[in-house]
Amino acid sequence: DTEVTQTPKHLVMGMTNKKSLKCEQHMGHRAMYWYKQKAKKPPELMFVYSYEKLSINESVPSRFSPECPNSSLLNLHLHALQPEDSALYLCASSPISDGPYEQYFGPGTRLTVT
Amino acid sequence: AQSVTQLGSHVSVSEGALVLLRCNYSSSVPPYLFWYVQYPNQGLQLLLKYTSAATLVKGINGFEAEFKKSETSFHLTKPSAHMSDAAEYFCAVSDEGANNLFFGTGTRLTVIP
């Protein structure tokens, strides 16, 4: 199984809502990532988890809260988002080894904040 | 710091023509280089990767890329474009031992029938 799955595919939420994005992989990868991608732009790294521990936080606002409950699952909890947070949120995973660190991406969650 | 530059935000080719997408990297150490493709409303799919084992790298869907250290380039080519190749293409670089991928700004490929 070489697939990264993400749910939901689409999400519309108000600025006062709390919602969560879910990502799952069963490739045995021990690094998992969240990216944000705006239209016509490259993905921007948000968070990196290595061995279920947060290793990189790219100065992301606290209204985004990541969680890695186990080696296969990655969540992104959303609260009090702003309209400018509307974007495609991509999850990825990769092996941790001597490299190269090719990342496997999920299909993304299209988030709209109203 | 690692970075890649993709020349040309939009490239148009005729069906059956050569595809050439340009990527130049900036790195103080031998890099790992990747090409990803993104179809509309989808995630990124790895096309190929350079790992220093061979300078000419073959990927999926008939694409290949050549690592040229003297030119700090890793251009993506395909001899004959298909309509299904229309997508956004991203070049990316990472350091050995790093978890980060640094993406270029992307090149949108249009294939004209």
Phi and psi (nearest 5°) for A52? Answer: 65, 10
Residue A1 pLDDT level (bands cut at 50, 70, 90): low
Residue A98 reports pLDDT greater than 70: no
Which of B42, B99, B104 lies at the smallest CB-CB distance from A50?
B99
Q: Determine the average pLDDT of the residues in A88-113.
A: 88
Per CB-CB distance under 8 Å, the chain A contacts of B98 are 101
| pLDDT score at B21 | 98
pLDDT at A97: 67
Residue range B42-67, pLDDT digits in tens? 899 999 998 877 889 999 999 999 99
| Residue from the list B41, B43, B90 with its beta carbon closest to the beta carbon of A42 | B90
Name every chain A residue with its beta carbon within 8 A of the beta carbon of B46: 102-104
Contacts of B57 (CB under 8 A, 6+ apart): B48, B49, B50, B64, B65, B66, B67
pLDDT in tens, A64-87: 999 999 999 999 999 999 999 999
Buried/exposed code over B51-65 (b: 16+ C-beta within 10 A; e: otherwise): beeeeebebeeebbb
Query: What is the per-residue pLDDT across B25-47, written as a single tens digit (0 to 9) for each?
Result: 987 666 789 999 999 888 999 99
